[in-house]
Amino acid sequence: MPYQAPLADFQYIYENVLDLSQVIDTETFSELDAETVSAILGEAGRLAEDVLHPTNRNGDLDPAKLENGKLRSSPGFAAAFQAIAEGGWVSTSASPEHGGMGLPLSISTAVNEMMAAGNLALQLNPLLTQGHIEALEVHATDDIKDIYLPKLISGAWSGTMNLTEPQAGSDVGALSTKAERNEDGSYAITGQKIFITWGDTDFTENVCHLVLARLPDGGKGTKGISLFVVPRNIPDANGEPGVANTLKVVSLEHKLGIHGSPTAVMQYDKATGWLVGQEHDGMKCMFTMMNNARLGVGAQGVGVAEAAYQHALFYALERKQGRTPVKGQGTIIDHADVRRMLATMKSETFAARALALECAIALDMGKAADSADWKSRAAFLTPIAKSFGTDVGIKVAELGVQVHGGMGFIEETGAAQYSRDVRITSIYEGTNGIQAMDLVARKMMDDGDAAYALLEEIESFAESARAVRPRMAEDVWSATETLREATEWMVGQKDFNQRFAGCVPYLNGFARILGAHYHLKAACAEGHDGPRTRLARFYINRLLPEHTGLLAHAMQGAADLYAISVDDLSI
């Protein structure tokens, strides 16, 4: 079935739930107005609908291949990427100084969501390039910027992130890739990297790798790591791709999903690279790339959720099976449980979309207003947006298979592809468990100030909403009080392992309440018992109560986990 971009949802959230106008009113983004935003999203939506979505199945059925050392992309991917590049969609938030649109992340996040819904495997390519661009904008020398940024922003070249090694996954400090200083100021990079998304393409002139490596005098752990840009082809005197660098794609991984996205094992043999940032300061540079990439991955989860929901809804409206005691469409959408699944899919997707956009607005305001409060808010929301968005993507895609029944397990229907493709997102850019650990540790080093500020905001709105939606408002307010207790418990634990033992249910509980907050705002703005209100009522009545068990779990501490011995877990 065709994909339809959720433009009405974006507009409703911007106008009634989050207030995009505060971003547009800043000097940084003053050239934007509501009409321009609508036009941009409309064009991005058409790209996703008409160009990207028709190629999505190709990536699953005819995956990227490595033939005689050369990558061959899935049918239609090259033309679709060309459309992305020609439309300026590779990096809409990049600086106009080097050819970017300079759009706020609150718009780029919506664009990325729609592109991911159209074709996640292909959208991964520009998403990685976006992070690459940002790292260079912030940390690279002017010479590197002048060579690389115009090419990356235009889509002529693409970018990757090279962190992981066979022995160094999330523990980046254990990497063994080496860097040596060359006499001309460049560096020789030697080592192997794994899980490199779009490690090569056949539709860009060059591929530029951001590689973490350790200099001979680099200390142990993450503090001794440096970051280098290492191109597939070394730029010549005119900045065009020149001689081949001494690097290669060794193999492509065989994966559960996103078959159209080549995940490469990369080998570097004294490959020529250039330092980005300062020596031994590579993690700082890489985190510039990773933080916004986390929001981007969260939006990917939302995009696949939307596509999977639409796929399931279309099937439910067409499939005739069994009888129900109600008169309706005469198809399976009349069954109560199918209706429950579809309502869950739609309401969860709305909540995750609003959360991703709120995080993006906080990032924009932190940049435009140079506000510590906005920056703190953005930092706190980022791990929640990444984790919740990807968990929702997985949950909704799985429900999509279930709505199809036995046909969902048959590949020809396409429902299973969404479930397989989106599964990686909860692992990308730090697993969701790592996001939760970050939330209760680093993001609470302010003694919970950022968390409490959000809780105050939710409760304040719930109190004002009692006059309009009394039952829903009371439920949201009461749930927020429970979250406040859990937050106080977390902040009070000086042994971080006590926090870590319940960090995932804590994050999920926080996300569940944020979702209820967005739905309540949507219902209040509607002003009558319309579709937004009915969806909010479903979410608050049926999904919000999950917070009770989640937050009770969050406050159990670690003792019972470690009381279970390794022998207890043995087969």
Distance, CA of 153 to CA of 542 (rounded, Å): 44
pLDDT given for residue 285 in this prediction? 86
The number of helices, as runs of H, and strands, as runs of E, in the chain is 21, 11
pLDDT band at 166 (very low <50, low <70, confident <90, very high): confident
Token couple for 304: 């696949």
Kindly state the average pLDDT of the residues 264-283.
Answer: 96
pLDDT given for residue 292 in this prediction? 81
pLDDT band at 284 (very low <50, low <70, confident <90, very high): confident
Distance, CA of 211 to CA of 218 (rounded, Å): 15
* Residue with the two structure tokens 């729609």: 114
| φ/ψ (deg, to 5) at 223 | -70, -15
Q: Structure pTM? A: 0.97
User: Among 429, 456, 457, 488, which one carries the catalytic annotation?
Assistant: 429
Q: What is the identity of the amino acid at 11?
A: Q
Domains defined along the chain, listed by start = 432-561 (1.20.120)
Any idea how long the chain is? Answer: 571
pLDDT band at 358 (very low <50, low <70, confident <90, very high): very high
Distance, CA of 389 to CA of 445 (rounded, Å): 24
Token couple for 150: 């115009």
pLDDT given for residue 500 in this prediction? 98
- Report whether 165 contacts 193 (CB < 8 A): yes
Q: Does the annotation mark 429 as catalytic?
A: yes
* 119 alpha-carbon distance from chain centroid: 14
Is pLDDT of 215 > 80?
yes
Token couple for 67: 């033939």
pLDDT given for residue 1 in this prediction? 74
pLDDT given for residue 508 in this prediction? 98
